[in-house]
C-alpha cells in the first residue's frame, strides 16, 4: 500500500514541484497543502499531486491551521509530512506533533530556524560558532553590540539566506542598520567572521549522512547582496576530500548530531578562516536553494529530488554516484531599470564554454527586471560544469564579465 504524504507548499518556491514529483515517483500519494489557490500551482506540481487543499491560515495561525488540517485528514493515516521551504518547517513539525506523524518535531524544527537557539545548542556541543546575542528591541541591540564588538553582523533570528542581514563596522553603521530592520521583531547580533564561506549539504536518514555536498560562495552572500553589478556564483566541489575542507566535514557531522537532524535534507553554511579554522554559520532543515540541488545533480548525472524522496519515504538511499564535475551557478543582473532590452555576449559564452554550459535561464527580452535585493536569482542564471576546478572558476568569471543584460523603460 502506498504511503500518504502531506506536502506543504508543493509548488513554491520554484524547485518545490521537483520534490513533489520525487515523492510521486517513489510511489507516494501526495496531498498538497498551501495558502494559495490551486490554479496558481505550476503544471508539474499539479501533475504529481493526488489531492490539493488551500489553507489560508497555514503559516499565520498555527492552531487554526492544525484544526483545518485535522478536518482535511479525517480518519486517514498520514505517513509523512514534508516541507522543504524554510518558513514552513516549524509548521510541519507542529503538524507532525498534532497528527502523530514521525519526523522532525516542532521543538527540533525551532533549532533549525531560531538562529540564536541554534548557535547556543551547537556551542553547548563544543562547536565553534560566532559570538552572538539575541535582541528584541533597540536597547538590546546596543547591549549586544557592546558584548560582541565590531565588526558585527545583525540579522533576523528566523531569517533565510542573507536577506535583511547587515555588516556594521561601527556605531553609525549599526544605527543605520537598525533603521532598516524596523519591520523585524527579533534579531541576532553576532561576531563578524572574516573568512571564505562554504556550504555543507546533506541527505540524512536517522541523522546518518547518506549523501553530502560542499558548496562555495563567490563572493560571500553579504557582499553579493550589497553590490548590484556583481554576478554572484555558487560553486559545487568535485573534490570534497580536499584537506582544507576537512574541518567543515567534521563540523557538519557534529552539528547534525547536536541538533538531531533525523531524516531529510540539511543545508549548513560555514566559514573557513585564513588560518584554517572552521566556524559554524547556520543550518536549515531543508535543501540549499537557488538551484544548488541542480548543481549536485549535474555534478554526478543523478536525480536527488527522487533520492531525497526515497530517503523520506523508505528510509533508504540507493542512488549510486560518482562526482564527475565541478559545477557553478552564475546569477546575472541587468544594467538599468525597467524591461530587458538586450542580452549581449551569449554567443561568446557558447564559444568559450561549449558543452560545459548545462543550462541557461535568463529573463526574455521584454520582461520586467526583478528586484535584485529580493531574489537570489535576480534576472536569471546559467549553470556550467567541468572536471577541473580552476577551469570551472575561469568559465564562471568569463560569464560574469562577458555576458551582459540591459534594461530600460
Question: Residue 163 sits in a domain of what CATH number?
Answer: 3.30.1490.20
The Cα–Cα gap between 292 and 370 comes to: 20
% helix / strand / coil in the chain, to the nearest 5? 35, 25, 40
Q: Is residue 123 part of a domain?
A: no
Question: Residue 64 sits in a domain of what CATH number?
Answer: 3.40.50.20
42-51, 176-185, 186-195, 337-346: lowest mean pLDDT where?
176-185
Question: Residue 362 sits in a domain of what CATH number?
Answer: 3.90.1170
Q: Does residue 336 share a domain with residue 252?
A: no
User: Band of the pLDDT at 13, cuts 50, 70, 90?
Assistant: very high
Q: Is residue 272 part of a domain?
A: yes
Q: Is residue 306 part of a domain?
A: yes
Model pLDDT for residues 35-82, shown as the tens digit of each residue: 999 999 999 999 999 999 999 989 999 999 999 999 999 999 999 999
pLDDT at 133: 86
pLDDT at 162 over 60: no
Cite the DSSP H helix spans in 220-345. 221-224, 246-259, 292-300, 304-314
**Domain's final residue, options 110, 143, 171:** 110
pLDDT at 246: 97
Q: Does residue 316 share a domain with residue 221?
A: yes
Strands 187-191 and 166-168: unpaired
pLDDT at 158 over 70: no
Model pLDDT for residues 187-237, shown as the tens digit of each residue: 889 899 999 999 999 999 999 999 999 999 999 998 998 899 999 999 999
pLDDT at 204: 98
- Percent of the residues in the chain that have a pLDDT greater than 90, as a whole number: 84
Model pLDDT for residues 20-43, shown as the tens digit of each residue: 999 999 999 999 999 999 999 999
Name the average pLDDT for the chain. Answer: 94
pLDDT at 160: 58
The Cα–Cα gap between 133 and 374 comes to: 26
Residues in Cβ contact with 43 at an 8 Å cutoff, skipping those fewer than 6 apart: none
Residues in Cβ contact with 195 at an 8 Å cutoff, skipping those fewer than 6 apart: 271, 272, 273, 274, 279
Domain that holds residue 409: 325-409
Q: Is residue 338 part of a domain?
A: yes
Q: List the strands of the sheet with 51-54, edge to edge.
A: 51-54, 29-34, 4-8, 80-82
Q: Does residue 400 share a domain with residue 331?
A: yes
Query: For the CA atoms of 308, 313, 316, 319, what is the dihedral angle to 10 degrees?
Result: -40
**Domain's final residue, options 191, 215, 241:** 191
pLDDT at 163 over 70: no
The Cα–Cα gap between 47 and 118 comes to: 37
User: Band of the pLDDT at 181, cuts 50, 70, 90?
Assistant: confident
pLDDT at 326 over 90: yes
Q: Is residue 118 part of a domain?
A: no
What single-letter DSSP state applies at residue 361?
E
Q: Does residue 198 share a domain with residue 187?
A: no
Model pLDDT for residues 285-298, shown as the tens digit of each residue: 999 999 999 999 99
**Domain's final residue, options 166, 191, 216:** 191
The Cα–Cα gap between 345 and 143 comes to: 50
The Cα–Cα gap between 147 and 129 comes to: 15
Q: Does residue 297 share a domain with residue 216?
A: yes
Q: Does residue 205 share a domain with residue 242?
A: yes
Q: Is residue 365 part of a domain?
A: yes
Q: Does residue 95 share a domain with residue 37?
A: yes
pLDDT at 185: 77
Q: Does residue 187 share a domain with residue 211?
A: no
Q: Does residue 264 share a domain with residue 366?
A: no
The top-scoring range by mean pLDDT among 131-135, 302-306, 375-379 is 302-306
Q: Is residue 305 part of a domain?
A: yes
Q: Does residue 97 share a domain with residue 146?
A: no
Cα–Cα–Cα angle for 358, 378, 239, nearest 5°?
45
Q: Does residue 299 share a domain with residue 204?
A: yes
pLDDT at 375 over 60: yes
pTM of the model: 0.92
Q: Taking the chain, what is the end-to-end CA distance rounded to the nearest angstrom?
A: 57
Q: Is residue 116 part of a domain?
A: no
Higher pLDDT, 162 or 307: 307
Q: What's the distance, CA 278 to chain centroid?
A: 20
pLDDT at 220: 93
Model pLDDT for residues 108-123, shown as the tens digit of each residue: 999 999 988 999 999 9
Question: Residue 287 sits in a domain of what CATH number?
Answer: 3.30.470.20
Q: Does residue 33 share a domain with residue 137?
A: no
Number of domains in the chain: 4
Amino acid at each position: 500500500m502506498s504511503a500518504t504524504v502531506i506536502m506543504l507548499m508543493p509548488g513554491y518556491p520554484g524547485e518545490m514541484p521537483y520534490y513533489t514529483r520525487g515523492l510521486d515517483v517513489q510511489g507516494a500519494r501526495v496531498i498538497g497543502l498551501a495558502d494559495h489557490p490551486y490554479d496558481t500551482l505550476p503544471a508539474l506540481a499539479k501533475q504529481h499531486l493526488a489531492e490539493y487543499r488551500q489553507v489560508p491560515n497555514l503559516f499565520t495561525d498555527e492552531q487554526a491551521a492544525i484544526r483545518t488540517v485535522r478536518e482535511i485528514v479525517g480518519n486517514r493515516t498520514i505517513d509523512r509530512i514534508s516541507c522543504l521551504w524554510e518558513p514552513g518547517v516549524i509548521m510541519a513539525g507542529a503538524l507532525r506533533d498534532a497528527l502523530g506523524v514521525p519526523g522532525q518535531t516542532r521543538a527540533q524544527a525551532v533549532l533549525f530556524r531560531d538562529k540564536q537557539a541554534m548557535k547556543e545548542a551547537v556551542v553547548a556541543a563544543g562547536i565553534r560558532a560566532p559570538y552572538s546575542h539575541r535582541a528584541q528591541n533597540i536597547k538590546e541591540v546596543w547591549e549586544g553590540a557592546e558584548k560582541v564588538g565590531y565588526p558585527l553582523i545583525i540579522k533576523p533570528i528566523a531569517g533565510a539566506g542573507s536577506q535583511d542581514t547587515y555588516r556594521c563596522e561601527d556605531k553609525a553603521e549599526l544605527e543605520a542598520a537598525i533603521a532598516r530592520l524596523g519591520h523585524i521583531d527579533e534579531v541576532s547580533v553576532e561576531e563578524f567572521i572574516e573568512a571564505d564561506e562554504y556550504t555543507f549539504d546533506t541527505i540524512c536518514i536517522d541523522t546518518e549522512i547518506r549523501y553530502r555536498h560542499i558548496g562555495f560562495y563567490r563572493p560571500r552572500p553579504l557582499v553579493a547582496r550589497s553590490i548590484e553589478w556583481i554576478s554572484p556564483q555558487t560553486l559545487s566541489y568535485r573534490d570534497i576530500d580536499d584537506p582544507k575542507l576537512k574541518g567543515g566535514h567534521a563540523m557538519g557531522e557534529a552539528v547534525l548530531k547536536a541538533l538531531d537532524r533525523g531524516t531529510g535534507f540539511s543545508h549548513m553554511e560555514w566559514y573557513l578562516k585564513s588560518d584554517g579554522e572552521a566556524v559554524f554559520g547556520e543550518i536549515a532543515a531543508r535543501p540549499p536553494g537557488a538551484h544548488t540541488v541542480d548543481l549536485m545533480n549535474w555534478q554526478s548525472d543523478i536525480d536527488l529530488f527522487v533520492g531525497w524522496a526515497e530517503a523520506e519515504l523508505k528510509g533508504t538511499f540507493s542512488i549510486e554516484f560518482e562526482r564527475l564535475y565541478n559545477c557553478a551557478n552564475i546569477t546575472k543582473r541587468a544594467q538599468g531599470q525597467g524591461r530587458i532590452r538586450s542580452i549581449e555576449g551569449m554567443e561568446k559564452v557558447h564559444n568559450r564554454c561549449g558543452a560545459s554550459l548545462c543550462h541557461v535561464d535568463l529573463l526574455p527580452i521584454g520582461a520586467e527586471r526583478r528586484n535584485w535585493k529580493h531574489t537570489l536569482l535576480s534576472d536569471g542564471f546559467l549553470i556550467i560544469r567541468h572536471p577541473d576546478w580552476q577551469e570551472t572558476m575561469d568559465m564562471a568569471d568569463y560569464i560574469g564579465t562577458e555576458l551582459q543584460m540591459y534594461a530600460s523603460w
